[in-house]
């Protein structure tokens, strides 16, 4: 797939969907405004009702949700852009009030995260999740396959399997949260089994070249840890090579503490395909990452919030607008679709 440039709009949850997980017309405008970027990766999209972990996140498991996402993808394509759906299951990062029937969130092991869940009733303490039985894992895989089918019906250009940020697949990958004694726990190969099975399923719907994977080797967000992220994630990256995926999308470092213990040059060397670097990149760092061969594409998050025309601003050396963090998750149009494009020179001279 040919992209217009090497910039990627990183996935950013903004809690703007309707209560039943439907994408809105404002979401279509938001993504359409940013269609000049080479690739948009959508906000995290729950693959099932069980996978929901936050209020007002847009799903891809019902026909109505798929139909509403079509409005988003159509506007992105009208603007000449490309967009992948980021498929996610939150696992233990949920709350009974967000689960069907008020059941417990599921996880690889009964390890409760620190902190609180975001719910429709405000912040509430995380609960002890229920460990998935081995026999239940195929149903999780089927949820990702179904969501991949809905993404195709919705007009997306591909999908990104979210295996990071402390959500269900990441909970299986990292040994701080995976204490299983069955074929999905113990060795790195076993902990990667769920990701392999999900990719097998998703790649029956999409060609491998339209499927990406996101990992966050040392990100502590959502109370995550791993005993040896360098060794474990170099192995994970190398094991993805035979799949010829669209890309590996890596959040480099810890987005909550800015710490960095993993050698990402070594991790990048372990992966032979297209590599997307993410986390705190500005234009100068991004240009160096591309020119040095460290990355093929660079993902930007926060700068895209206030700069729908970020590509043009970087290309022409224009100043960047500063986002209002108070509106990141506030709902409504303010701080979402009301950031202006930079005025053109002819408008300034008029």
Tell me which residues are annotated as active site: 167
Bridge partners of 162? 214
Are the C-beta atoms of residues 273 and 241 closer than 8 Å to each other?
yes
Residue 293 · residue 287 · CB < 8 Å: no
Residues 161/196, Cβ–Cβ less than 8 Å:
no
β-strand pairing of 297-300 with 83-88: unpaired
φ/ψ of residue 191, rounded to 5: -65, -20
- Measuring CA to CA, how many Å separate 167 from each of 39, 139, 158? 23, 17, 20
Q: Cα–Cα distance between 46 and 93 in angstroms, integer?
A: 12
C-alpha torsion 105→109→114→115, nearest 10: -10
């Amino acid at each position: 797939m040919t992209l217009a440039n090497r910039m990627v709009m990183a996935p950013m949850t903004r809690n703007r969907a309707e209560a039943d997980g439907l994408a809105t017309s404002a979401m279509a405008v938001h993504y359409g405004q940013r269609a000049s970027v080479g690739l948009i990766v959508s906000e995290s999209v729950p693959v099932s009702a069980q996978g929901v972990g936050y209020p007002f996140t847009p799903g891809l498991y019902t026909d109505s949700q798929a139909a509403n996402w079509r409005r988003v993808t159509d506007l992105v394509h009208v603007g000449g852009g490309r967009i992948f759906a980021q498929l996610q299951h939150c696992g233990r990062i949920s709350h009974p009030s967000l689960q069907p029937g008020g059941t417990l969130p599921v996880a690889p092991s009964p390890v409760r995260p620190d902190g609180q869940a975001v719910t429709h009733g405000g912040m509430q303490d995380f609960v002890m999740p229920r460990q998935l039985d081995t026999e239940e894992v195929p149903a999780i895989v089927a949820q990702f396959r179904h969501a991949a089918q809905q993404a195709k019906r919705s007009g997306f250009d591909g999908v990104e399997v979210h295996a990071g940020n402390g959500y269900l697949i990441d909970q299986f990958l990292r040994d701080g949260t995976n204490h299983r004694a069955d074929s999905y726990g113990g060795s790195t190969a076993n902990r990667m089994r769920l990701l392999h099975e999900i990719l097998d399923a998703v790649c029956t719907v999409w060609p491998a070249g339209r499927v990406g994977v996101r990992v966050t080797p040392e990100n502590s967000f959502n109370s995550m840890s791993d005993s040896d992220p360098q060794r474990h994630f170099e192995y994970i990256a190398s094991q993805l090579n035979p799949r010829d995926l669209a890309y590996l999308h890596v959040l480099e470092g810890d987005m909550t503490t800015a710490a960095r213990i993993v050698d990402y040059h070594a991790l990048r060397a372990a992966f032979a395909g297209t590599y997307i670097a993410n986390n705190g990149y500005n234009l100068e760092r991004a240009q160096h990452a591309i020119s040095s061969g460290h990355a093929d594409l660079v993902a930007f998050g926060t700068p895209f919030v206030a700069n729908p025309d970020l590509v043009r601003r970087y290309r022409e050396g224009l100043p960047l607008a500063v986002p209002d963090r108070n509106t990141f998750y506030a709902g409504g149009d303010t701080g979402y679709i009301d950031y202006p494009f930079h005025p053109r020179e002819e408008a300034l001279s008029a």
